[in-house]
Structure 1
Amino acid sequence: MSVVAENLHWRVKRKVIVSDVSISVAQGETLGLIGPNGSGKSSLLRLLAGLKKPVLGRVQINGQDIAKVSRRALSRQLAFVQQNAATDTNVTVRDVIRLGRTPHRSALSGWSEDDEAAVATALDRVDMTTRRTQAWQTLSGGERQRVHIARALAQTPQVMFLDEPTNHLDIHHQIEILHMVRDLDLTSIIALHDLNLAAMFCDRIVVLDAGVVRASGTPAEVLTQELLRDVFRVSAEVSGSPDADRPHIRFKAG
């Protein structure tokens, strides 16, 4: 499914958080949202997912205005993975993933073969099948994030939104998570703070600064020394790679 946002504007009281943002994400594409802290990445992600209502503008999923779609129906098409989701409840991995089936079930419906198949497929896709009966509290940070992605996959969405899914993970788990997301047969929009990871795993990148789009394009088009200086206020060398669209950033001290 494609995602198109037109002239999105959102504010809290008098403070503008997202200003006149328009983006387009093709079916099957992985789009990265990057920008300094407070640039509006998480807010834009929630506007795109229908979790916030814009003051102005609209979002279309596969040509359909999401403002005209019920939350339940929308949850059957898209999934949202938030950062650092947690629970103190004594539940198993499978219990957490089962929650992803909520949009597909009515209050009186029993657990179906389709539900069971969706959970089993989600467990397999994040390589957590052997951990399905393990207690949530015993999982590592990387394992918990994989379970959250599995819960989203159990919704059987066609679009996935992820808000800094690698936050607080070590580099091994960061790469593992983003490899997994990129290999999914889904349209994905990911808010990231690590610029080199964005270059490695995103087909295109949108740069936000104070709620405004400062640049949009392939990693090679966007991640320039000038942009890093002007938006992120850092000095850096940007070098090429065997894949011309995947630059590498080396930050300079001072």
Structure 2
Amino acid sequence: MSVVASNLVWGVRRKRIVSDVSLSVAQGETLGLIGPNGSGKSSLLRLLAGLRRPQSGRVEISGQDISQIPRRALARQLAFVQQNAATDTNVSVRDVVRLGRTPHRSALSGWSAVDELAVASALERVDMTDRRAQPWQTLSGGERQRVHIARALAQSPRVMFLDEPTNHLDIHHQIEILRMVRDLDLTSIVALHDLNLAALFCDRIAVLQNGVLVACGRPAEVLTQSLLRDIFRVQAEVNNIDQTGRPHIRFKTG
């Protein structure tokens, strides 16, 4: 399922946060969103996922304007993983992941074998099967993040939006989560802070600065020394680490 954004504009009062952004993501592609803090990554993700209505512009999935799709039908196609989510309810890990099946069930339908399989598969994918009965409140920040991703996977979406999915994760789970996202048979748009992880796991990278899309292309095309200097204000060396042509960034401290 493809995602196409055309001339998206959104802001608060007189401050424009997303400014005339147009981009497209092909079916099965993983697009990374990068940019300095406050560049508009999270706001753009919410516009693309239909969680915010743009002041102008439109978003289409497979050629259909998402503003014309009923919310429940949209939730069966799109999943969103936010940076931080909390609950005071005393629920288990499995209960949280079960919420991902809500868009697929009517008020009167019972819990089905298909629902159970989706939940079990999602927990296995994020390496949380052994924690399925554990209370949510006892989890670490990284474990909670993995459960959020499992809940999104349980939706069986065709497009997934992830806002800083590697926050609070150790390096092993950062790599495993992004490898899983890349290898899923769906379209993914991921906001990331770690530029080397974006280069390693994303098919293309879009760069935002002050709400404006300043670059979009393959990692080796986008992550140049000049862009890192001008957008991120850092000095770095950029080298290809293998024959895939994916760049590796080594930051200079002096």
TM-score, scaled relative to structure 2: 0.96
Q: Which residue is 2:23 aligned to?
A: 23
Deviation for aligned residue 1:244:
4.2
Q: Which runs of 5+ in 1 are unaligned?
A: none
Q: Which runs of 5+ in 2 are unaligned?
A: none
Q: Which residue is 1:174 aligned to?
A: 174
Deviation for aligned residue 1:20:
0.8
Bigger mean CA deviation after superposition, 30-39 or 141-150: 141-150
Q: Deviations over 1:164-203 (max 9, x none)?
A: 0112323222222212211211111000011111001101
Bigger mean CA deviation after superposition, 28-37 or 142-151: 142-151
Q: Does 1:137 align with 2:148?
A: no
Matches of 2:64 and 2:70, distance apart in 1: 12
Q: Which residue is 1:55 aligned to?
A: 55
Matches of 1:49 and 1:90, distance apart in 2: 29
Q: Which residue is 1:78 aligned to?
A: 78
Instruction: Give the alignment of 1:137-216 within 5 angstroms.
Output: 137-216=137-216
Q: Which residue is 1:113 aligned to?
A: 113
Q: Deviations over 1:142-177 (max 9, x none)?
A: 322221111001111000000001123232222222
Q: Which amino acid aligns with 1:26?
A: A
Matches of 1:112 and 1:171, distance apart in 2: 36
CA contact (8 A) 1:79 1:155 kept: yes
Matches of 1:121 and 1:242, distance apart in 2: 33
Q: Which residue is 1:36 aligned to?
A: 36
CA contact (8 A) 2:36 2:231 kept: yes
Q: Which residue is 1:128 aligned to?
A: 128
DSSP-derived class of the 1:91 partner: coil
Counting aligned pairs with the same residue, the percent is 80
Matches of 2:169 and 2:146, distance apart in 1: 12
The RMSD of aligned alpha carbons is 1.3
- Equivalent residues, number: 254
Q: Deviations over 1:62-83 (max 9, x none)?
A: 1111010011110000100001
Compared CA separation, residues 104 and 162, structure 1 to 2 (3 A): same
Q: Which amino acid aligns with 1:38?
A: G
Bigger mean CA deviation after superposition, 94-103 or 237-246: 237-246
